[in-house]
Structure 1
Amino acid sequence: MNKAELVEALAAQHALSKAESGRIVQTLLDTIVTTVRKGGSVVLPGFGSFKLHARAARNGVNPATGAKIKIAAAKLPKFTPGTAFKAAVDPKAAARKAAARGAAPAKKAGKPAAKAARKKA
């Protein structure tokens, strides 16, 4: 699906004109880009989060010549999918993960947990 198809789907589902839905999609994308560019994050619960990822400078190797090169630091956008999005894309993996969590042994209540319970009381 590309942006034009997304605009058409939004227009059809919400009885909007294509121009209106196009402006909504563009506003959404512009807001995400502006927020991430400023160093903030955009979190859409169940879907995922967009944030700025800083990659440190590092040394690399030119594969053609074998010469060592310096790779500059970079700021990149990063998208991390939410659990509901992951589960919708691959329900079997989500079921395996849930089963693995259910089979994990329960932690014993130690001194830190007892102290926290006393503070609450």
Structure 2
Amino acid sequence: MNKAELVDEVRKLLGAETSTAAAERAVDAVLAAVTRGLHRDKEVQLVGFGAFAVATRAARRGFNPHTQQPMKIRAMKTIRFKAGQALRAVA
């Protein structure tokens, strides 16, 4: 499912009186709130759905796939998602 399909699904769930533009604003608002929550608190928990958390990947050695030369990969932040129990039950 891509974002356009998600917006369409939200519009259907909200009812016939909801426009596609309103559904898109709702989806954008939720995504922005999750992004701000990760930036501020480093974790966002949605009970029944799951938890997003900022994690740090350690620096490591890798290989350039074109030249096969070893290279250093710097440490970086990434987002982890752990599905909640209700979501795991559906999937």
Alignment of 1:61 with 2:48, yes or no, is no
TM-score of the aligned structures, taking structure 2 as reference length: 0.82
Distance in 2, Cα, partners of 1:9 & 1:52: 28
TM-score of the aligned structures, taking structure 1 as reference length: 0.64
Higher strand fraction (1 or 2): 2
Alignment of 1:45 with 2:47, yes or no, is yes
Alignment of 1:12-91 (within 5 A): 12-15=12-15, 16-89=18-91
Larger Rg: 1
Cα drift, residue 63 of structure 1: 4.7
In the comparison of the two structures, how many residue pairs are matched?
Answer: 89
Cα drift, residue 73 of structure 1: 0.5
Higher RCO, 1 vs 2 (CA within 8 Å, ≥6 residues apart): 2
What residue identity is the alignment partner of 1:86? Answer: R
Higher helix fraction (1 or 2): 1
Distance in 1, Cα, partners of 2:55 & 2:30: 20
Deviations, residues 73-109 of structure 1 (Å, cap 9, x unaligned): 10011111112111111xxxxxxxxxxxxxxxxxxxx
RMSD: 1.8
